[in-house]
Amino acid sequence: MVAAVAPVDYAKLLFRTEPFSKMASARRFQLLSEARFASFSLGDYIFKKGEPPTDVFILLGGKVCVLGEMPGADEPVVLGEYGPGSCVGWDAALAGACGVEAIAEGDIFGLLVAAPSFIEIARFDVALRDSFLGKPSRSEVWWAVLSELRRHDISLGKAARIVEKIAPVCTTRDWPEEESVIQAKKSYLWVVSGGEGVVPGRLWDEPGGVLWARLIGIPIDQFERAIKEQEIVHESPAPPLPVMKPVAETSPVVAIPAPPKATSASRPSLARRIAKGTVLLLIVLTAVIAGLCGWASRQPIIERVASDGRLIFSGDAHELSASVTGKLMESRIRPGMRVSKGAVLAIIQPPKDETKAKMLADTLARAKSQIDFCERVLAGNLGRLTDAPESIAGNVRDLGFLKSEYRVSSAINAGKPDAPGLSQEERARVNLHFDRLKADHSARMDVAQQDSSVKREDLADAEDALREAREELRVQTAAAASLVAGRSDDSKEEAASAQRALAVYKRVVTQRQDTVARIRKEIASIRVAPAVVPVAATTNLEKLETGIRDAEKQIRLFSASVRVLSVETEIAIEQLNADAAPRQITAIHPGLVTEAASFAPDSPVSETTVLGKLVTRQAWRIECPEQAVHHMKPGQDFTIVGANAKVVAQYAAALPGSGKNKARIQHDASDDDWRDGAAIRFEAMVVTGNLLESWLSQFNSFRQ
């Protein structure tokens, strides 16, 4: 499969291709927004082999052959060949059928639409539903029959023939819209072809949870008959033809008695013998004369008959109207002019609605400008916001802002103030951000240094105080030891007092040690400066990406709607130009122009303006003396010769003057010779009698 960028006029192609040209505008707009252009070469597979199609291919140019793998068949079965205006793959996608292949039979192009989207649109659009979903496709019948044969463990070796017989009588219904029809047709097997919440190929039993189902109805009796026909093997020879016995022909036998032997007493006389010979001679002469008369009566006498006459025409008069409102540019109608059907009689220039033409031209220019603007925006060139159409100006503004924020945030996250693709303003924002981070870091370092200096001074004071406390503790410890060594009662009391003071000094030393340790920890924490980290979070980038996609989607939808408007406007302009193009007024009937109106060039005319009158010459006859044609028979050929000796007609279809002649006369005479009442000479070869009649006529003349 070779995907390609959609041409600018692919919407126009769809608009002019049936049945998509009959779609509702809203549905067509929805279909265009879901479609993407694709083209293929000879032998390319439209869909992946071995998998149910996920897309529907709307063919706009070329031819596609659809094949199906039939179990038991050596080669794939041809399920159909399709041309422009066809949709390939929707039925296989609906049924989830594997083994269906669509192959390009040459260079083809069209639109790919996701199968669920196409089926959803086709179900609710009248034009697409009638053209595609209104009857079961060959692929659906193929899948349904195979499923039913498998259910009954019937051999699939001759399934192709069964499908061939069953396909023309199968039907389809949708559930739940046609539930009553499905329940009423009990003589059908209803097999699921596809839907929502169903398993394709199963018998329909109205399971729960089904939102929509497309069912294929197979007539039970015809299905069983088709199966039985494939199981019958014709092995008995044809019965022999009956032998026809000839019938013997019999003829009556007449017994002729043998003549008696002549005797002298029975011999005939000479007179009788002479009479008998005379009679026999008369009989022979009569037979010869009768045969000669019969032969003479069958010998026709053909003579040429010629007579002067004239042509008589008859026909209806028709007014030659302008038929169009506008200016008469040229008139070819002249009195006495003979015209044939389709001859150009006049040329008229219809008026052009300049106001409408300007409005359509402005609309088309504005639509193309908006389409170009949307394409530039989607390509990343936002341009000037003042050029944006009012309806998407907000989306363009949001898209520009979101893309700018995304570039800035990405550069900040990457820590690259010199990242490519940044504008000067965006680069200044990134640099400002990093400058602020550096300034903040520097301020923190200054504060840390100040805090560290103060803490170090505090640490020095604390360490001095600790040393003093330790020294005092050492002195007091030595004094307490000397007092303990004394034996007097006073020494004992002083020693006890010294021990209590010593405990106090120990607590002081401990406290001052804790103070030194705390200050040292504070100094250590001040020494670790915070690192510079980006402030733009990953979640923020994801939100920006979502916002960019939403804004681009709105711009694409607007571009698709304007593209449809552009196509419709171009068609309206073409229609307006076609309506204003010069019109040729042609003759509907052949005939003779008897009148012609006089118009000056550029004269205004309306649809009812009469340009002239035409008398048709479809019926004609010859007027000549009766004695010239009384020997002619219907269907006999004859010749008409014009006054200028040119042949104007031959091979008439009936007798002249009979009123039954419907043949047109082919002539090469001038218009003056070819008119009502034109002088002609009629010639024909006719049978004037036979040889016997001529002999009798001569005999009568001799007698007289």
Question: Could you report the per-residue pLDDT of 531-562, keeping only the tens digit for each?
Answer: 555 544 456 778 888 888 888 888 888 888 88
CATH class of 298-315+617-704: mainly beta
Q: What would the mean pLDDT of 568-583 be, rounded to a whole number? A: 86
Higher-confidence residue of 316 and 179: namely 179
- A 10 A CB-CB count for 326 gives 20
Domain 424-527, CATH:
1.10.287
Rounded Cα–Cα distance for residues 375 and 565 (Å): 16
215-236: b (≥16 Cβ within 10 Å) or e: bbbbbeeebeebbeebeeeeee
The predicted structure's pLDDT at residue 675 = 63
- Per-residue pLDDT of 402-429, as tens digits, reads 888 888 888 888 778 788 878 888 888 8
- Per-residue pLDDT of 629-660, as tens digits, reads 777 776 666 777 665 544 444 333 344 444 43
The predicted structure's pLDDT at residue 312 = 72
**Of the spans 141-150, 254-263, 603-612, 682-691, which averages the highest pLDDT?**
603-612
pTM of the model: 0.40
The length of the chain, given as a count of residues? 704
Whether 256 and 250 have beta carbons less than 8 Å apart is answered as no
The predicted structure's pLDDT at residue 490 = 62
Q: What would the mean pLDDT of 334-345 be, rounded to a whole number? A: 83
CATH 3.30.1660.40 fits 1-134, yes or no: no
pLDDT tier at 57 (50, 70, 90 boundaries)? Answer: very high
Tell whether the model's pLDDT for residue 358 goes beyond 50: yes
- Per-residue pLDDT of 200-225, as tens digits, reads 888 887 766 777 888 889 998 888 88
Which SS3 state, helix, strand or coil, does residue 618 take?
A: coil
| Sheet with 64-68, edge to edge strand ranges | 77-82, 64-68, 100-104
Residues 6+ apart with CB under 8 A from 182: 173, 175, 190, 204, 215, 217
Q: Is 677 left (phi over 0), alpha (psi -120 to 50) or beta?
A: left
Return the domain boundaries, the chain: 1-134, 137-231, 298-315+617-704, 356-415+537-577, 424-527
- A 10 A CB-CB count for 508 gives 17
Strand partners, 689: 301
Give kind and range of the element (H or E) at residue 173: strand 171-175
Q: % helix / strand / coil in the chain, to the nearest 5?
A: 45, 20, 35
Rounded Cα–Cα distance for residues 549 and 558 (Å): 14
Instruction: Give the distance from CA 322 to its chain's centroid.
Output: 39
Return mean pLDDT, the chain. 76
Rounded Cα–Cα distance for residues 404 and 702 (Å): 131
The predicted structure's pLDDT at residue 252 = 33
Q: What would the mean pLDDT of 332-339 be, rounded to a whole number? A: 83
pLDDT tier at 464 (50, 70, 90 boundaries)? Answer: confident
**DSSP code of 699?**
H
- A 10 A CB-CB count for 135 gives 12
Q: Which of 616, 620, 615, 614 is nearest to 664 (CA)?
A: 620
Tell whether the model's pLDDT for residue 251 goes beyond 50: no
Tell whether the model's pLDDT for residue 60 goes beyond 70: yes
